Amino acid sequence: MTEVTTVDHVVIRFAGDSGDGMQLTGDRFTHDTAVAGNDFSTLPNFPAEIRAPAGTVAGVSSFQLHFADFDIRTPGDRPDVLVAMNPAALKANLGDLPRGGLIIADTADFTPRNLAKVGYASDPLTDGSLSDYQVHALDLSGQASAAVAALGLGRKEAARTKNMYALGLLDWLYGRPTENTIAFLETKFAKAPQIRDANIAALKAGYAFGETTEVFANRYKVAPAPVPSGTYRQISGNRALAYGLMAGAAKAGLQLFLGAYPITPASDVLHHLAAAKAAGVLTFQAEDEIAAVGAALGASFAGQLGVTTTSGPGLALKMETIGLAVMLELPLVICDIQRAGPATGMPTKTEQADLTQALFGRHGEAPLPVIAPQSPGDCFSAAYEAVKLAVDYRTPVILLSDGYLANGAEPWAVPDLASLPAIDPAFATEPNRPDGEFWPYLRDDKLARAWAVPGTPGLEHRIGGIEKADGTGAVSYDPANHEFMVQLRQRKVDGIASVVPDVVVDDPSGQARILVLGWGSTYGPISAAARRVRGSGRNLATAHVRHLNPLPANLGEVLRRYQRVLVPEMNLGQLAMVLRAKYLVDVQPYSRVRGLPISLSELAADLIELIDLTEEEQ
């Protein structure tokens, strides 16, 4: 009889060819995990090539899921379980599996040809080279095909259900419910009943195999994680970002207009917003990045909420129009979902290398706010805040997400729209001068200028790409006026610091000499590594920066408290460079540019070494 073992967390990685359905399998297992009440974090990993050769390491697609009975912050560094659908998947991922890890391999594709294709001289499933692991070599493809044989599918179509067979087996192994996946398949394949029935049959057969086989000595139970009451859903960063934009527009009473050109990994935001047409969202798929941002800026001029989405290469192309938006002082939200570069780089991999481009990449003096979410669910809050800043201060705002946040998923507490901060576009409706004229560059106490919808009677005004005269908006070539307007726009952005929350330091002991400061998606690895470091009895302080321009007002004072300040980034030290220049503090970069999130285990080990070295120096 199979013994049930209780564990507090598990990391599973599904891996196979791009056509093996690993992303769908991982996503459905995540849904089943969410229903079971666990906390979770995911890391999909796609080939960089559009269609890499089948059976090669370059063509391996994987999906990693970390789930637990406690609050977790990352999808895990190393899998406890590897589901490998072919030799390439085993070859590409075996190095990440710790000794003693569980391997479930589909033997059907372990043929001499496929083994040779990835450099295996012999079959690792039978030659003893995997003796340090728990290996279950199963003919998943054959068993799935047998389970659907009565449905009359062809050989290839029947074999394609192997991912659902594997999912059923893993659902059994970890006590996941299958009802939601069955309901999903019934809906997804409602117009293809043969495919629907085959996938459901394979799922059930995989679960039944687990119940009847004796090859597994243990099943595993992960208890639900304690969470505050509320309505939760599984959400990816790109979907959360789209919802945040929609919520911001709704709260402001503005039409949401998205001008976008498809680019990985930002395209999903376009997809999600295009699907929201019934909610009043307008989307425009432009012919290029420049047209996309131009259309979005035009929408803002017309009194709508203009938004554009892109990744690093597209952000570079948009910069002249973003500079124009700074001069026009119109709301515009630019969502940059960062990817590995330069140029096209590795489009499906993650990075944080667009920070200096976002801060300084425009021609001339063109300051604007820059903010970054810290988790997939936080993309909602960051997008909402970007809308509010753009509307309140009449400025373009850059939101820096990344591929890890965009494609990763976590539980998300659905917010109450009524509880979100108010956003008031405060359109000008009457002349703002005693003489009955309307001046577009008269400002409020935030230095935000008047926003008048074209066609409003009596509010005709000049606007264009040449420097404006203060107040009137007339074309001006006066050197003193240009310097004044440049300084004024900088003061407006600097003034946003008054609404930026202070940096909060997490230092439980109050005795830490080292501060680890993060931004964006480094929040998860840093907080998880800090938990491990403190668990070893060492003191460590952490803090996280959401607002990258302007920086929080108390940040300089915080940095000066500590003997050492370390900034982990998925770049070569861009924020560290900015902080060193601004605050004259010896901030040290901790750089990783591997196309993957920073490893919490590696970071924790390096921090322990640094803390011990610091203590020895005292």
Would the pLDDT of 426 be above 70?
yes
Taking only the tens place, the pLDDT of each residue in 145-156 is 999 999 999 999
pLDDT in tens, 439-464: 999 999 999 999 999 999 999 988 87
What is the predicted pLDDT for the residue at 1?
64
Q: Given a cut of 90, is residue 484 above it in pLDDT?
A: yes
520-529 confidence digits (pLDDT tens): 999 999 999 9
Which pLDDT belongs to residue 2?
A: 79
Phi/psi for 383 (5° steps) reads -65, -40
Structure confidence by residue, pLDDT tens digits, 277-311:
999 999 999 999 999 999 999 999 999 999 999 99
Q: Six-digit token pair at 18?
A: 């791009």
pLDDT in tens, 85-112: 999 999 999 999 999 999 999 999 999 9
* Confidence at residue 394, expressed as pLDDT on a 0 to 100 scale: 98
Other CB atoms within a 10 A radius of the CB of residue 567 amount to 26
Q: In what order do the strands lie in the sheet with 81-84?
A: 39-45, 60-68, 9-17, 81-84, 102-106, 134-138
**Nearest Cα to Cα of residue 356 among 588, 545, 573, 592:** 573
Tens digits of residue pLDDT in 493-535: 999 999 999 999 999 999 999 999 999 999 999 999 999 999 9
Confidence at 166, pLDDT banded by 50, 70, 90: very high
560 pLDDT exceeds 80? yes
- Residue 167 CB-half CA count within 13 A: 34
In angstroms, what CA-CA distances link 556 with 177, 355, 551, 565, 582? 50, 19, 9, 12, 8
> Lowest-pLDDT range, 40-49, 195-204, 248-257, 544-553?
40-49
| Percentage of the chain modeled with pLDDT above 90 | 94
Q: Give the pLDDT confidence of 243-253 residue by residue, as tens digits.
A: 999 999 999 99
In the predicted model, what is the mean pLDDT of residues 230-250?
97
**Quick check: 601 pLDDT over 70?**
yes
Average pLDDT, the chain: 96
599 vs 47, more confident: 599
* Confidence bin at 48 (pLDDT 50/70/90): confident
Using the predicted structure, report yes or no on whether residue 618 has a pLDDT greater than 90: no
Long-range contacts of 589-597 (CB under 8 A, 24+ apart): 590/566, 592/568, 593/340, 593/351, 593/353, 594/570, 595/340, 595/346, 595/349, 595/350, 595/351, 596/45, 596/349, 596/350, 596/404, 597/43, 597/74, 597/75, 597/350, 597/404, 597/521, 597/524, 597/525, 597/570
As given in the structure block, the two tokens for residue 410 are 């976590």
Tokens (6 digits) for 558 = 């915080």
